[in-house]
Chain A
Amino acid sequence: EAGVAQSPRYKIIEKRQSVAFWCNPISGHATLYWYQQILGQGPKLLIQFQNNGVVDDSQLPKDRFSAERLKGVDSTLKIQPAKLEDSAVYLCASSLGEIRVSGTAYEQYFGPGTRLTVT
């Protein structure tokens, strides 16, 4: 089974430029997540989609970050304009759903990430 795919793997841009990241989740996974991982920290959730609807974007800096998941499959995360503090690894994850009827949570599977450097 193919895993979560992300591209590009690396990106270097200057501040105030724009950048976009792409994620293709595991086939059949309804839930998709974008995380930001700053060097030396754990990943932090930016946005969560259930199919093509947003479930949680409370930690997404909406003045510069945007994300979409058209058709409920692939997703793109965009930053415009970028700041120095946006330098981080952006991780995409997917899961079959959120919470099972049994009350347990579905496991999230992570992609390899995109390392963004803003100079």
Chain B
Amino acid sequence: KQEVTQIPAALSVPEGENLVLNCSFTDSAIYNLQWFRQDPGKGLTSLLLIQSSQREQTSGRLNASLDKSSGRSTLYIAASQPGDSATYLCAVRANNLFFGTGTRLTVIP
């Protein structure tokens, strides 16, 4: 069964810092990997989706990479802002969508 792990579970950084969130998965037979943002009490906002044939995707200050063979993905956030504070979830699409437990990010002004 696919298992998705996210490290760290929580992260606090001062505003302006660049940061990296990590995601690992146990089965490399995936269609894609997706990063979501979740604000407290809210639903999921899709940030980036990387197809299994791709190595990375970029959107604004966000860059996500995928190394399917090693079962790893990273989400890089440049020049962090207080508005980036949220929980970030990684999910891999196999026969179903399997989620990690998330990294709770706090950006301190």
Interface residues of A (CB under 8 A from B): 33, 40-45, 48, 56, 91, 99, 103-105, 107-113, 115
B4 touching A111, Cβ below 8 Å: no
Q: Which segment, of B40-48, B55-63, B78-86, faces chain A?
A: B40-48
The reply on B71 being an interface residue by CB < 8 A is no
A48 touching B96, Cβ below 8 Å: yes
A104 touching B96, Cβ below 8 Å: no
Most buried by B among A42, A48, A111, A113: A42
B99 touching A42, Cβ below 8 Å: yes
Can you report 25 A-B residue pairs in the complex whose CB atoms are below 8 A from each other?
A: A40-B101, A41-B101, A42-B4, A42-B89, A42-B91, A43-B44, A45-B97, A48-B96, A56-B95, A56-B96, A103-B31, A104-B31, A104-B32, A104-B52, A105-B32, A105-B93, A107-B46, A107-B49, A108-B97, A110-B36, A110-B43, A110-B44, A110-B45, A112-B42, A112-B43
State A43–B102 Cα separation when bound (angstroms). 10
Knowing A105-B32, A112-B43, the reply to whether A42 touches B51 (Cβ < 8 A) is: no
Complex interface: chain A residues within 8 A of B74 (CB)? none
Q: Chain B's interface: helix, strand, loop or mixed, by majority?
A: strand
Closest A residue to B100 by beta carbon equals A42
B34 touching A107, Cβ below 8 Å: yes
State A91–B38 Cα separation when bound (angstroms). 12
Most buried by A among B43, B51, B89: B43
A99 touching B91, Cβ below 8 Å: no
Knowing A42-B89, A42-B91, A104-B51, the reply to whether A115 touches B41 (Cβ < 8 A) is: yes
State A41–B76 Cα separation when bound (angstroms). 22
Knowing A91-B44, A111-B43, the reply to whether A43 touches B99 (Cβ < 8 A) is: yes
CB distance from B106 to the nearest CB of A (A): 16
